[in-house]
Amino acid sequence: MDKKVLIKEIETELNGFEIYSLFKDYSYSFFLDSGMDYEKLGKYSFIGFDPFIVFKSKNDDIEIIQRGEIERLKGNPFFELKTLLSKYDMSYKTELPFVGGAVGYFGYDLCHHVERLQRTAVDDVNIPDSFFGLYDGVIIIEHKRNKVFVASIGIKDKADIVVDEIAKKIEAGKNKRLDIKIDYEENRKKFRSNFTKEGYIEALEKLKNYIKEGDIYQANLTQRFECDIDVSPYELYGKLRAINPAPFASFIDFGEGHIVSSSPERFIKITDRVIETRPIKGTRPRGKTPEEDKRNREELLISEKDKAELLMIVDLERNDLGRVSKTGTVKVTELFHLEEYATVYHLVSTVVGEMKDDHEIIDVIKATFPGGSITGAPKIRSMEIIDELEPTQRNIYTGSIGYIGFNGDTDLNIVIRTIVCKDNKAYFQVGGGIVWDSDPEMEYEETLHKAKALMEALNS
């Protein structure tokens, strides 16, 4: 028997960011913010706060916080999260894709709970490897029809009480209009990298030697920048979403810091047990003139190097999905699709499959995590080389942010174009896929193209 979900439409003139501003100071608030492509990828945004359970992990230490009580466990975070979510597994159907469930992130370093990997990179930021809140009482913004809904399943309290309380808060804040000011000042911030330019190129040459020796076909090499910040993470996010809107953007208060993300890439979407992944490979900067823009776009579309790089990852993703999908259901539905963003162009592919009957959502995530587009091929050896060559742990970067509904429907991004704010410092990473014929200078410059929007937001 399906669980009944209460959904109420709310009349408001506030936009998504303005609605979120009403709830930003509540504990563990989140804003999954689709800032573009309302016809396809960015149809909905979601807002929530005050979860009834919080799940955090660091290495094999796990905390589950409920009603102020903390339960501490040792174990594999994937298994313990799967166990927790199984207590709230329920069947319901709605026209809205997410009405309640777990929202948060899987950090890249959870890869050590998927494969046996050496760990030598330094953890100098020290945030949880994973964080999820379980939310009942979600605000849903449907962009195409410009509608706002509040939904409750009735776990935290009676559904009508949860919905009415949220609706009253939105109504009370009806005049809260926001005007984000962006005053960009070039190079005002001092950005510090965990590589020198020479050091990054030296690491890149070592990586290319591994390719020459046949260890791997490609791998993703990144550098991390940090700087001091003197604005709130909330203000920073307002600027970033204005400068660089993205379909899988988000702002999350995880209690020990904030995630400020404008990711363009989907990792895994699951709807009615159909899995979809959308790897990105291939980047060109936006031009300063329409002619330069057109030239960069056409150059990416005809680039054999970029197409070969994307094909390698498509094959890897087909293999990953094949482990958790029914035989014969894995298909490539989109190949070499050009997507346009504020500062760059990307090539994207889409791979789909149908979940095996004996698999659950966390099984699919664990089998495919981390995404192949930000590790390399073969995946395990690429991750070993990443740990060897990158001096600091990636933490959340190249992990996944998103939701897992109580009914199993899931949407998770790849954490790129993302800033971690903690203790008045901002940290963000940028990188690219390296193959045998990669040009070191061009690859280094590509990382700076990808950093442009983040640096603009931090400098504004």
- Residues with a catalytic annotation lie at 265, 281
Instruction: Answer yes or no: are the C-beta atoms of 278 and 266 closer than 8 Å.
Output: yes
Largest CA distance in the chain: 64
Q: Which long-range contacts (CB under 8 A, 24 or more apart) does 311-314 make?
A: 312/217, 312/218, 312/281, 312/377, 312/435, 313/218, 313/279, 313/281, 313/349, 313/372, 313/373, 313/377, 313/433, 314/279, 314/349, 314/351
Write the single-letter amino acid at 322: G
Strand partners, 270: 275, 410
Residue in the block written with tokens 């162009």: 345
Quick one: which of 278, 413, 268, 374 has its CA closest to 334? 278
For residue 208, count other CB atoms closer than 10 A to its CB: 20
Write the single-letter amino acid at 365: I
Give dist(CA 327, CA 186) in Å, integer: 53
Give dist(CA 334, CA 94) in Å, integer: 27
Quick one: which of 250, 233, 224 has its CA closest to 458? 233
Give dist(CA 413, CA 91) in Å, integer: 24
Give dist(CA 132, CA 283) in Å, integer: 31
